[in-house]
Amino acid sequence: MRSTPTLAGALVALLALGVVPARAGHRPNNEVLVGGAISLTGQYAEPAGRQVNSIRLWVDDVNARGGLLGHRIALRLLDDKSDIQTSIKLYEKLITEDKVDVLLAPYSSGITEAVANVTERYKMPIVAYGASASPIWEKGRRYIFNIVAVAETFQKGAVHLARQIGVTKLAVIGQDSLFPRQAGKGAKDWAQRLGIDVVLEENYPTKQTDFTALLQKIQASGAEAVISNSYFADAAAQLRQMRELGLNFKLYSSTVGPALPNFAEQLGATAEYVLGFSLWEPLPGVLGYPGMKEYIERYEKRYGEKPNYHAGGAYGALQVTEAALKHVGSFDSEKLRDALATIEVQTVFGRYKVDAKGMNSHEGLTFQILRGQRRVVWPEKWAETKAELPIPEWSRR
Amino acid sequence: MERSEVRSLYLLAVFLACAYTVPFLVGAWAGTVRFDERWLGNLATVVVAGVMQGGVYAMFALGLTLIFGVMRIINAAHGEMVMMGAYLTWVCFFYLGVDPLLSMVLTLPVAFLFGVAVQKLLLNAVVGQPELTALLITFGLGLTMIYTAELIFTTDFRAIPYAPGTVHLTRTIAVGQNKVISFVLAVVISTAVYLFLKLSRLGKAVRATALNAEVAMVCGVDVRRIYLITTGFGAALAAAGGALVSIQFGFNPETGVVYTLQAFAIIVLGGRGNYMGALIGGLMLAVLENLVSLMVPNGTAVVELAAYGLMIFVLLIRPGGLMGVKEG
C-alpha cells in the first residue's frame, strides 16, 4: 500500500502520544483529504449540483463537530464535465497523485460504473449516491456500496398506478444509456407481472431533442400510457411536443426530470399531472427519518430551497461513510470497506444496510405534479393525496 | 454530361429509392406499418415534421456552405454560433421582454458583427492555408464559445416557451405552431439569402470569389471585404437558426456540437459550397431520420446510423455530394 516506513513510524509515534492512528496524520494542519469528481458542468450538472450542495454542507457540519476522527476535512471536488473518460482520469489522479483519504462518488450510473473499475483496482471504498443501475453491483466488486434504490424499482409505482386506472397497453421509452435502460427493464417486468402489455419499447440517443417521430410511433402502437426513462431535457421536450402535437395519454411518468425542483417551474402547466419518481422527499412528517428535519432546515437556510432526493442521498451516504469511519477508528481503506459492508446506519435518507453485493434495499416513492407541487401518491402508506389520473386531455386543460 | 456522370446519377437515384424504402420494408416486417387512416396520419405528420425540421437545418447549413464555398474553410464552430443565437434570443426574451422572432432584428446584426470579428481576428490568418489549420482554429473557437457560455449561463437547459399551440393541417396531421413559424421563417430567410447571392452586385461578387478568388481580385473585387461579409452572413444564418431552434427545443451550451454535425452532414450530402444542395440535403436528412424513427423497431436509437450511412453511401456514389460538381 501507500504507507511508507516513515509514515508508519510517524503513526507509531502518534499512537504513543494517544492520538487517533489515522493515515491522514501526514496532512498539513492535521487535515484529512476528502475528494471526488462529480458533474459540475454538462448534462448531469443539475442533479449532481444538488449533491455537491449536500457534500459542502456535510463537510461544514463535520468540521463544526470537530472533524472526521479529529481531523479537519479539506475538500477536493473536481469537475468530470458529465463525461465518463474525464471522470476515469480524475479518479486516477485523486487516488495516485492527490492521495485522498476518503473518496466521494460521482453522479450517474454510467460514470459510476466506469469509476468503479478504478476504485476497485486501488481498493478504495465508495458509497455511491448517484447510481441506480444494478449491473454495477453484479460484477463481484468489493469496494463499491450503494445507498439508493436500484433503477429497476423507479417505475414500479407508475406501473401500479397505470394498472389501477385500467391501462392495458404501455409504451416504455428511454434514453440510450445504462440507468434508463435498467429502469425500462424494471418497468417491463412490473408490467408483465401486473398483466399489462408493453406494446412499444424504444431508446433514443442521449442528445435527442426532437421526439415528434417517436411520439407518433407511440400513438401508432396504441399505447395508452407512457413510461419514460428520462432525465431533465428529454422529459421536458417530450411533454412540450406531446402538447404541440395534441397527443393525449392516460399517464406519463419520467424517472429523473420531474423530481428536480425547476421542472415544474420551467414547464408550468405542461408539467401538470406528470408522475415522477423520488428516492426521498423533504417530508419529515411522512418519512420520519432521524435528523431529517434538521438537515432540511440547514440545507434550506444555506441554499434557499429544500433539498431534493439527489441532495438527500448524498448526505445520507456521507453520514454512512462518517459512521463507518468512526466504527473503524482510522482511515484504513480495507477496514473501512469491511465496515461499510456490515454496519447498519440510520441516516436522514433512510436505513443503510447492504446485502452481499453491496446494494441497499432503499424504498422510493412516486409523486405527481399537482398545481405545481410534487405530491406523494404511491406507495399508499406514504401517499399525501390520491393520484389524479387519467391525465385530462390537452384540449380540456 | 459525361457518361460516368450520368451513370452516377442513375445509381444515386436507385440508391435513394432503396434508402427511403428500407424503413417501410423493415416496418412491414416488424408489423409497425399499417395502412389504415390513423397510421397514414402518423406517417404524414412525421414527414411534414421532417420537412419543417429540414428547412431549419438547411438554413444554418447554408451558412456553413457559404463560408466553405468562398474560403474553403470548414467552420467547426458553426453549431456554437447556432447556440449563441439561441442564447441571444433567450436573453432578449427573458431580460428585455422582446418577442423571439422580433429579436432577430437585434440578434442577427450582433451575430454578423461577431462573424466579421472572427474573420478579422482568426480566419484571415488561415485563408488559403491547408484545410486542417482552419478546422483546428474554428474547433478551438467552438470550445471557447462553449465554455464562455457555460460561465455565463451555466449548463442548465434553457427553453423559450413560445407558440406552444397546435396547428391542425388535416384531421389527422397536427404540427406544433412553433414548428410552422420556424419553417416559414427559415424558408423566407434562405430565399432572401439565395436571391441576394443570385441578383445583387455584392452577392455576385461573393459568388465570383467562391468560383475563383484570384480572378475575382483581378476583376476588381475586394476579396478581403467579401471574406468579412461571408463570415458575417454565415454567423448571422447560424444565429437565425439558433433563434428558430430556441423556440422549439431546449438547449444548453453543449447542444451546438449536435448542430455542427448536422450542418456538416447536410452540406457534405448536398454538395459542399452548393446552396440548393444544402436545402435538399437538409430535407432529405430530416425526413429519413423521422421515417426510420417511426417505422424501424427501436429506430430512434439508430437514427444517426441511418443519417450518416446515407451520407457515406451518397459520397461513395458521388464524391462531390448530391448537387456537387466533380472536384479537380
Residues A182 and A115 in one domain: no
Which among A221, A232, A268 has CB closest to B157? A232
Q: How close, in Å, is residue B301 to chain A by CA atoms?
A: 4
Which of these, A211, A39, A42, lies nearest to B257 by C-alpha position?
Answer: A42
In a domain, A358, yes or no: no
In a domain, A304, yes or no: no
Which among A205, A213, A241 has CB closest to B304? A205
Q: How close, in Å, is residue B115 to chain A by CA atoms?
A: 26
Q: How close, in Å, is residue A329 to chain B by CA atoms?
A: 40
Cα–Cα distance list, B199 to A99, B188, B192, B204, B207 (Å): 67, 16, 10, 7, 11
- DSSP H helices in A140-231: 156-164, 178-193, 212-221
Q: Do B254 and A245 touch (CB under 8 A)?
A: no
What is the structure's pLDDT at B32?
A: 84
Whole-angstrom distance, CA of residue A322 vs CA of residue B116: 57
Residues B221, B225, B227, B229, Cα dihedral to 10°: -110
In a domain, A224, yes or no: yes
What is the structure's pLDDT at B144?
A: 96
- Is B172 part of the contact surface with chain A (CB cutoff 8 Å)? no
The mean pLDDT value for A233-244 works out to: 93
What is the structure's pLDDT at A11?
A: 45
CB pairs A-B closer than 8 Å = 116
In a domain, A386, yes or no: yes
What is the structure's pLDDT at A271?
A: 94
Instruction: Name every residue whose Cβ is closer than 8 Å to that of residue B216 and which is 6 or more positions away in sequence.
Output: B205, B208, B209, B223, B226
Contacts of B151 in chain A (CB under 8 A): none
Q: Do A217 and B161 touch (CB under 8 A)?
A: no
The mean pLDDT value for A43-66 works out to: 93
What is the structure's pLDDT at A382?
A: 92
What is the structure's pLDDT at A13?
A: 47
In a domain, A290, yes or no: no
Residues A171 and A260 in one domain: yes
Q: Tell me A105's DSSP state.
A: P
Whole-angstrom distance, CA of residue A87 vs CA of residue B18: 43
Please check the confidence at residue A17 and state whether its pLDDT lies above 60: no
Whole-angstrom distance, CA of residue B248 vs CA of residue B185: 13
Which among B39, B250, B257 has CB closest to A233? B250
In a domain, A292, yes or no: no
Residues A334 and A241 in one domain: no
Whole-angstrom distance, CA of residue B112 vs CA of residue B193: 14
B3-317: in CATH 1.10.1240: no
What is the structure's pLDDT at B288?
A: 94
Q: How close, in Å, is residue B144 to chain A by CA atoms?
A: 15
Tell me which of A32 and B4 has the higher pLDDT.
Answer: A32
The mean pLDDT value for A56-66 works out to: 96
What is the structure's pLDDT at B1?
A: 63
Contacts of B161 in chain A (CB under 8 A): 268
Of how many residues is chain B composed?
328
What is the structure's pLDDT at A254?
A: 97
Residues A99 and A171 in one domain: no
Residues A224 and A342 in one domain: no
Q: What sign does the CA torsion over B91, B93, B97, B103 have?
A: positive
Which among A214, A236, A245 has CB closest to B166? A245
Residues A99 and A186 in one domain: no
For chain B positions 248-287, those within 8 Å of chain A (CB to CB) are 248-252, 254-255, 257-258
* DSSP symbols for A29-95: GGEEEEEEEE-SSSTTHHHHHHHHHHHHHHHHHHHHTT-BTTBEEEEEEEE-TT-HHHHHHHHHHHH
The mean pLDDT value for A242-268 works out to: 90
Residues A9 and A75 in one domain: yes
Please check the confidence at residue A14 and state whether its pLDDT lies above 90: no
Residue A16 binned pLDDT confidence (cut-offs 50, 70, 90) = very low
Which CATH number fits the domain that encloses residue A73? 3.40.50.2300
Residues A320 and A256 in one domain: no
What is the structure's pLDDT at A145?
A: 97
Residues A117 and A36 in one domain: yes
For chain B positions 21-40, those within 8 Å of chain A (CB to CB) are 32, 34, 38-39
Residues A142 and A162 in one domain: no
| Chain A residues within 8 Å of chain B (Cβ atoms) | 41-43, 45-46, 82, 176, 201-205, 207-210, 212-214, 216-217, 219-221, 232-233, 236-237, 240-241, 243-246, 262, 266, 268, 270, 394
What is the structure's pLDDT at A15?
A: 43
Whole-angstrom distance, CA of residue A374 vs CA of residue A17: 54
Residues A389 and A260 in one domain: yes
Which among B161, B255, B300 has CB closest to A214? B300
Which among B39, B155, B257 has CB closest to A41? B155
Mutation target to probe the A interface, by most A beta carbons within 10 A, among B38, B152, B157 is B157
Q: Do B258 and A202 touch (CB under 8 A)?
A: no
Q: Do B294 and A246 touch (CB under 8 A)?
A: no
The mean pLDDT value for A295-323 works out to: 96
Please, is A373 exposed, middle or buried when counting C-beta atoms within 10 Å of its C-beta (0-12, 13-18, 19+)?
exposed
Q: Do A41 and B150 touch (CB under 8 A)?
A: yes
What is the structure's pLDDT at A9?
A: 52
Characterize A282-320 residue by residue with b for buried, 16 or more Cβ atoms within 10 angstroms of its Cβ, and e for exposed: bbbeebebeebeebbebbeeebeeebbbbbbbbbbbbbb
- Phi, then psi, of A350 in degrees rounded to 5: 125, -170
What is the structure's pLDDT at A90?
A: 97
**What value does the mean pLDDT of chain A take?**
91
Q: Do A176 and B301 touch (CB under 8 A)?
A: yes
Q: Do A220 and B252 touch (CB under 8 A)?
A: no
What is the structure's pLDDT at A26?
A: 55
pLDDT digits (tens, 9 = 90+) for A131-179: 988 899 999 999 999 999 889 999 999 999 999 999 999 999 999 988 8
Which among B164, B258, B289 has CB closest to A240? B164
Say whether the ipTM exceeds 0.95.
Answer: no
What is the structure's pLDDT at B5?
A: 79
- Is B304 part of the contact surface with chain A (CB cutoff 8 Å)? yes
Segments forming the whole domain that contains residue A373: 152-278+365-396
| Paired strand residues for A351 | A346
Contacts of A171 in chain B (CB under 8 A): none
Say whether A202 sits in a helix, a strand or coil: strand
Residues A107 and A161 in one domain: no
Domain count, chain A: 2
Q: Do A216 and B42 touch (CB under 8 A)?
A: yes
Q: Do B304 and A237 touch (CB under 8 A)?
A: no
Whole-angstrom distance, CA of residue A50 vs CA of residue A41: 12
- For each of chain B's 328 residues, which pLDDT tens digit applies? 678 778 888 888 999 999 999 999 999 998 888 888 889 999 999 999 999 999 999 998 999 999 999 999 999 999 999 999 999 999 999 999 999 999 999 999 999 999 999 999 999 999 988 889 999 999 999 999 999 998 899 877 888 888 888 898 888 888 999 999 999 999 999 999 999 999 999 999 999 999 999 999 999 999 999 999 999 999 999 999 999 999 999 898 989 999 999 999 999 898 888 888 888 999 999 999 999 999 999 889 888 888 899 999 988 988 888 887 654 3
Please check the confidence at residue A25 and state whether its pLDDT lies above 80: no
Least confident segment among A19-28, A224-233, B120-129: A19-28
What is the structure's pLDDT at A20?
A: 39
What is the structure's pLDDT at A21?
A: 38
The mean pLDDT value for A316-328 works out to: 97
